[in-house]
Amino acid sequence: MTCSFFWLYCFVPLLFGYGFAASFLSTHDQPYRTRFHFQPPRNWMNAPLIYKGVYHLFYQYNPKGVTWGNIVWAHSTSTDLVNWKPHSPIIHPSRPFDINGCWSGSATILATGRPAILYTGLDPRNRQVQNLAFPVNLSDPYLTEWAKSPHNPVIFPTLASHINETAFRDPSTAWMGPDKQWRVVVGSLRNQRGLALHFTSRDFMNWTQSKNPLHSVEGNGMWECPDFFPVSKNSTIGLDTSTPSGQNVKHVLKVSLDDTKKDYYTIGRYNIAEGKYVPDKGSVQNDSGLRYDYGKFYASKSFFDSEKKRRVLWGWVNESSTETDNKRKGWSGLQAIPRTLWIDKSRKQLIQWPIREIEKLRTKKVKLPSTVLKGGSVHEIIGVTAAQADVQVTFGISDFQKAQVLDPSWTDPQILCRKKGASVEGGLGPFGLLVLASKGLQEYTAVFFRIFKAHNHKYNNKYLVLMCSDQSRSSLNNEKGLDKITYGVFLKLDPLHETLALRSLIDHSIIESFGGGGKACITARVYPLLAVDADACIYAFNYGNESVQIKGNAWNLRTAMIK
């Protein structure tokens, strides 16, 4: 498939404004509708952008029907990345170069300050070509009208190019080198090799394919939505996409693997003269490597927020429910809370943290006094609107002796989390939170840690922290096809010297969890039957046989204005 999946909205009123729909749909009818996440009618994010202080989100949308097709670029704007206002779609199929589809792409701010969009079009022969569009009125901060370039398609497969014409899509944001040439990459596939094909241009219109791709990996399958950007080695500030490589700058390449539906990234060195990116030693782009998120999160894209000097990551989050359920509820898919992103002190991975603006939705704060959670105990966090909350806790460990020894065969964290779910007692852990939990704990999603003694482990720590999100008890609904898989990751954190923290953003049917201050993220979708709205609870728990100390805060979160 493409960077263009479509989840269906049957509820026509929802298409025209959630505010209106919400006024007659009781929450009883829509228990899983989120309240502070961006949920486009039919989703797919294309291109985030900031222009004249206004954030823009463009996404794929089918205005005509409940099946895939008629794809247009829909458009919403925001001044805080939290509250959103809809506009009319900006790009429709209309010309030979996009008559069979206007698929994903990216926005770039040109040197003159003029925004440009490169997007994939499908021509009458269903070849994938790259097209250009510009805003009509540059004085309009909402950029409501766009015009397609008369030079389209600006990049297309030719016989000589050896480009696979049915696997050539999702142009990245472009960047400019010191030689004043623009560069862009487009995802592709040759045999089983995933490719980021590299093109250069002086004028953004006449593009020349480089001899070699920016990067490619054998066996990866199709690369969708490639994202390539610089990160500062010495600070958390974001860098403009055109910032050159140098002593203080590293580069990140993210690809979305069509075969696994996961987003992987590597950190490495960019040689602009050769048009080549080389991942650092040990940085690989597959299941042995790094992911932005170890739960549901795909087709993400980042942009440089020039006003707040940060790099912001947007990811798309699929449902875990069946297609029948999605049709019944009338919508499907949403955007994760935008995350600020920077490089970790180790320079071996990225750190992600929800944008500060989300904290504006916090209302009541509930302080959790420092409490000892004895082995086998559960402690309710009282006074929070548990279905719509922001919870931040830290766990203090004074005695590591009871940590279980890691069996050398336990190399896959997801399998380990599945085998040792939240209900399996241990030594140091499992401890964490039970969220979207029912009063009697018939339902809960457990986000938790386990600590193992790990001699000679590759992270060189004496102890290894496993972070899990266990959905197996998330709903009494046992319908076949409902995805309750458990997610897991080893957290690159030394619990002897670093604080073990957990933050979860809970929004009715989504739980976004950040371990170790954003060293690892897990996003889960769950559909409880009992733990809904006011009937949802949050608990802290410890099913290990060693005590841990917990403290932190929880906040009620208001509903954002998202239309």
Ligand X SMILES: *[C@@H]1O[C@H](CO)[C@@H](O)[C@H](O)[C@H]1NC(C)=O
Output the CA–CA distances (angstroms, integers) from residue 15 to 315, 320, 325, in the order listed: 21, 22, 18
Of 206-225, which residues contact ligand X (CB under 6 A)?
A: 206, 208
- For residue 136, the minimal CB distance to ligand X (Å) is 8
Q: Where are the alpha helices (DSSP H) in 7-158?
A: 12-15, 18-24
Output the CA–CA distances (angstroms, integers) from residue 19 to 86, 317, 335, 550, 560, in the order listed: 12, 22, 18, 39, 11
Of 26 and 398, CB closest to ligand X: 398
Give the whole-angstrom CA distance, residue 307 versus residue 209.
33
Count of other CB atoms within 10 angstroms of residue 215: 24
Does 261 bind ligand X (CB under 6 A)? Our answer is: yes
Read off the tokens for 5: 């999946």
Residue type, 339: R
x/- track of binding to ligand X for residues 380-409 (CB under 6 A): ----------------------x-x-----
Does 245 bind ligand X (CB under 6 A)? Our answer is: no
Give the whole-angstrom CA distance, residue 342 versus residue 65.
40
Give the whole-angstrom CA distance, residue 548 versus residue 378.
12
Among 80, 344, 412, 483, binds ligand X (CB under 6 A): 483
Using left for φ > 0, alpha for ψ between -120 and 50, and beta otherwise, residue 170 falls in left
Does 88 bind ligand X (CB under 6 A)? Our answer is: no
Does 235 bind ligand X (CB under 6 A)? Our answer is: yes
Give the whole-angstrom CA distance, residue 507 versus residue 353.
17
CB 351 within 8 A of CB 265: no
Give the whole-angstrom CA distance, residue 298 versus residue 106.
16
Does 472 bind ligand X (CB under 6 A)? Our answer is: no
Does 108 bind ligand X (CB under 6 A)? Our answer is: no
Does 377 bind ligand X (CB under 6 A)? Our answer is: no
Does 423 bind ligand X (CB under 6 A)? Our answer is: no
Of 27 and 404, CB closest to ligand X: 404
Q: Which stretch binds ligand X (CB under 6 A): 115-123, 153-161, 284-292, 337-345?
A: 284-292
- For residue 26, the minimal CB distance to ligand X (Å) is 26
Give the whole-angstrom CA distance, residue 251 versus residue 231.
6
Number of residues near ligand X (by CB under 6 A)? 34
Does 54 bind ligand X (CB under 6 A)? Our answer is: no
Q: Which stretch binds ligand X (CB under 6 A): 15-23, 316-324, 388-396, 430-438?
A: 316-324
Among 320, 474, 523, 547, binds ligand X (CB under 6 A): 320
CB 172 within 8 A of CB 155: no
Does 286 bind ligand X (CB under 6 A)? Our answer is: yes
CB 91 within 8 A of CB 119: yes
Give the whole-angstrom CA distance, residue 394 versus residue 553.
9
Using alpha carbons, select from 526, 520, 484 the residue that is nearest to residue 502: 520
Does 526 bind ligand X (CB under 6 A)? Our answer is: no
Output the CA–CA distances (angstroms, integers) from residue 3 to 67, 258, 465, 469, in the order listed: 16, 8, 34, 26
Does 425 bind ligand X (CB under 6 A)? Our answer is: yes
Does 549 bind ligand X (CB under 6 A)? Our answer is: no
- Alpha-carbon Rg for the chain, nearest whole angstrom, is 23
Does 257 bind ligand X (CB under 6 A)? Our answer is: no
Of 139 and 460, CB closest to ligand X: 139
- For residue 237, the minimal CB distance to ligand X (Å) is 8
Give the whole-angstrom CA distance, residue 344 versus residue 218.
28
Of 169-198, which residues contact ligand X (CB under 6 A)?
A: 189-191
Does 545 bind ligand X (CB under 6 A)? Our answer is: yes
Of 223 and 555, CB closest to ligand X: 223
- For residue 475, the minimal CB distance to ligand X (Å) is 13
Q: Which stretch binds ligand X (CB under 6 A): 56-64, 65-73, 106-114, 135-143?
A: 135-143
Q: Which stretch binds ligand X (CB under 6 A): 151-159, 365-373, 422-430, 439-447?
A: 422-430
Q: Which stretch binds ligand X (CB under 6 A): 82-90, 105-113, 136-144, 265-273?
A: 136-144
Q: Which stretch binds ligand X (CB under 6 A): 34-42, 152-160, 269-277, 282-290?
A: 282-290
Strand partners, 251: 230, 268
Position with the least CB separation from ligand X: 248
- For residue 144, the minimal CB distance to ligand X (Å) is 9
Of 137 and 212, CB closest to ligand X: 137
CB 353 within 8 A of CB 521: no
- For residue 284, the minimal CB distance to ligand X (Å) is 4
CB burial readout 80-115, b (16+ within 10 A) else e = ebbbbebeebbbebeeebbebbbbbbbbbbeeeeeb
Among 318, 445, 471, 509, binds ligand X (CB under 6 A): 318
* Cα 499-505-508 angle, rounded to 5 deg: 150
Does 288 bind ligand X (CB under 6 A)? Our answer is: yes
- For residue 135, the minimal CB distance to ligand X (Å) is 10
Among 23, 88, 94, 137, binds ligand X (CB under 6 A): 137
Residue entry with tokens 């049957």: 10
Among 67, 112, 139, 158, binds ligand X (CB under 6 A): 139
- For residue 122, the minimal CB distance to ligand X (Å) is 12
Read off the tokens for 228: 């390539």
Residues lying near ligand X in the complex (CB under 6 A):
5, 137, 139-140, 164, 166-167, 189-191, 206, 208, 232, 234-235, 239, 248-249, 261, 284, 286-288, 298, 318-320, 402, 404, 425-427, 483, 545
